[in-house]
Amino acid sequence: MFLVLAALRVVGTPLDVDGAVVLTRSEIPLGDIVLFPYSPAYLLLLHLWAGISAAVPWLRLLSLGVAVGGLLLAPRVLRGLGGTHACGGAVWILALSPFFVEQMVAVSPSSLAFLVVVIELLCFLEYLRAGEARWLLGWMAAALVSLLVHGGLYYLVLSLCLGMTFYRTRYFGRQRWWWLAQLPPLGLFVLLSGAQFERFVVQRVSQI
């Protein structure tokens, strides 16, 4: 059902103003995309995808494919968060939400943000369950990518840190490596925030 609704959106709606702005931003040189303040990870992906075709349905297919990947992984996350009985209904509510369907086929970072958040939560839950280094490394990679999708996703990192603090006795054996794994995301967040602040100051000074 999600694919049917999404397909109708892919082929049945023109590119809106916001999507056109995002597409224009993706056309800047690759070297500048990395330093661009608006979702450099998504702009890089869109830049490569649009190099094949700039047709609107093709551009929307990128978002749809990424969203489907997130939906396929979502049940594992929902089972870990709410249990098996809550998983099925939660997936249906998510997949059939008009807002969700609209955002998941838009030419915007929304679908990529959804995917990296799902992967980040999945790796976190699996690390708590198994304590294996591969899940912690996967979480760290997803956290770094999420910051390149939207800096505000660092709040998810902080929320998970709060959870680890609250359950520090239960997951005592996971604590040491978990807190060491916070250093790369924290460093990237500080770097990106510093660059944004510097850009803001330069713009303000230039207006004086």
Residue 191 has pLDDT above 80, yes or no: yes
Q: How far apart are CA 136 and CA 176, in angstroms?
A: 12
Q: Report the pLDDT value the prediction gives residue 98, as an integer from 0 to 100.
A: 75
- pLDDT band for position 198 (50/70/90)? low
Q: What is the helix (H) or strand (E) element at residue 33, kind and residue range?
A: helix 30-34
Q: Is there a contact between 139 and 129 (Cβ–Cβ < 8 Å)?
A: no
User: Of 18, 15, 24, 21, nearest to 58 (Cα)?
Assistant: 15
Amino acid (1-letter code) at residue 100 = F
Report residue 118's pLDDT band, with 50, 70 and 90 as the boundaries: very high
Average pLDDT over residues 54-68: 87
Residue 170 has pLDDT above 60, yes or no: yes
* Chain centroid offset of residue 26 CA: 17
- Residues of the chain above pLDDT 90, percent: 33
Angstrom CA distances, 80 to 69, 125, 178, stand at 18, 7, 19
pLDDT of residue 137: 97
pLDDT of residue 144 exceeding 90:
yes
**CA–CA distance from 172 to each of 46, 165, 179 (Å)?**
42, 10, 12
Q: Which whole number is the average pLDDT over 85-99?
A: 74
In this prediction, what percent of the chain has a pLDDT beyond 70?
Answer: 83
Query: Average of pLDDT values for 119-147?
Result: 94
pLDDT grade, residue 10 (50/70/90)? Answer: low
Q: Per-residue pLDDT averaged across 34-41, rounded?
A: 77
Look-up: residue for tokens 């709060």?
162
- What pLDDT, on a 0 to 100 scale, did the predictor assign at position 2? 53
Residue 15: pLDDT above 80?
Answer: no
One-letter identity of residue 54? A
Listed residue (16, 17, 13, 20) closest to 54, CA to CA? 20
Residue 13 DSSP symbol = S
The H-or-E segment that residue 204 falls in is helix 183-206
pLDDT at 164: 93
What does the domain layout of the chain look like in residue ranges? 2-206
